[in-house]
Structure 1
Amino acid sequence: MSVDLSFYRSRTSQRLRAEGRDEGRVEGRVEDVIEKTLRLLEARGIDVPGPARKRIQSCLDLEVLDRWFDRAITATDIAEVFAE
């Protein structure tokens, strides 16, 4: 019995695998920035109330998370992290 494996070698299959890898990398980066932002705020003694923690943890926009992380470096309170 022979199984046709041509799909797994096709361009479509290769593209789908590449997209999956890229999505996984972005998701991993998002999780990493969330963790590091919360650790940084904790280490700096900045109070992160429940709603603020949930806001950070639920954000999926890497650009926004990076901006919040950068602000967390010098912020004196959580409001400065979220300031527009």
Structure 2
Amino acid sequence: MSTYRIRFPGSGTIIEEAILKGREQGSNEVRIGVRIQDILRVLRVRGIEVPDAVRERVNSCDDLDVLGTWLDRAVTVGSADELFVEPAGA
């Protein structure tokens, strides 16, 4: 069984590269947005108040690894400010 690929006039050119890069960037932005929402949701569901400064810091972060760390911490922290505190021995 063969795979059919649609070819367009810009295939294999800088135009295609730009389109593919734009899709990747858009996909990454979606993942970042979802992770931000998840962090804030976990805190809300746990009944933890989120000060504006914390909300702004979380919303302005664009590093998926950092957001992942904060999401992990959101499950156990006692206050929203603790998201940013490195655990002892880390």
Aligned to 1:64: 66
Match of 2:39 in 1: 37
The structure where helix makes up a greater share of residues is: 1
**How far off its partner does 1:15 sit?**
1.1
Q: What is the CA-CA distance between 1:79 and the residue it aligns to?
A: 2.4
TM-score scaled to structure 2, two decimals?
Answer: 0.80
> How far apart are 1:51 and its partner, in Å?
0.6
Gaps of 5+ in 2: 1-7
Q: How does 1:68-83 map to 2 (within 5 A)?
A: 68-83=70-85
Structure-1-length-normalised TM-score = 0.85
SS in 2 for 1:9: coil
Flag structure 1 segments of 5+ consecutive residues without an equivalent. none
Q: In the alignment, what sits opposite 2:19?
A: 17
Are 2:74 and 2:83, in contact at CA under 8 Å, matched by a contact in 1? yes
Report what 2:51 is aligned to: 49
Cα RMSD after superposing both structures: 1.4
Query: How much has 1:78 moved relative to structure 2?
Result: 1.4
For residues 41 and 85 of structure 2, what CA distance do their matches in structure 1 show? 19
Letter in 2 for 1:23: Q
Identity of aligned residues (%): 38
Contact 2:39 2:70 in 1 (8 A): yes
CA distance in 1, matches of 2:67, 2:61: 7
- Counterparts of 1:42 and 1:51, CA distance in 2: 15
What CA distance in whole angstroms lies between the structure 1 residues aligned with 2:61 and 2:51?
16
Structure 2 counterpart of 1:13, one-letter code: I
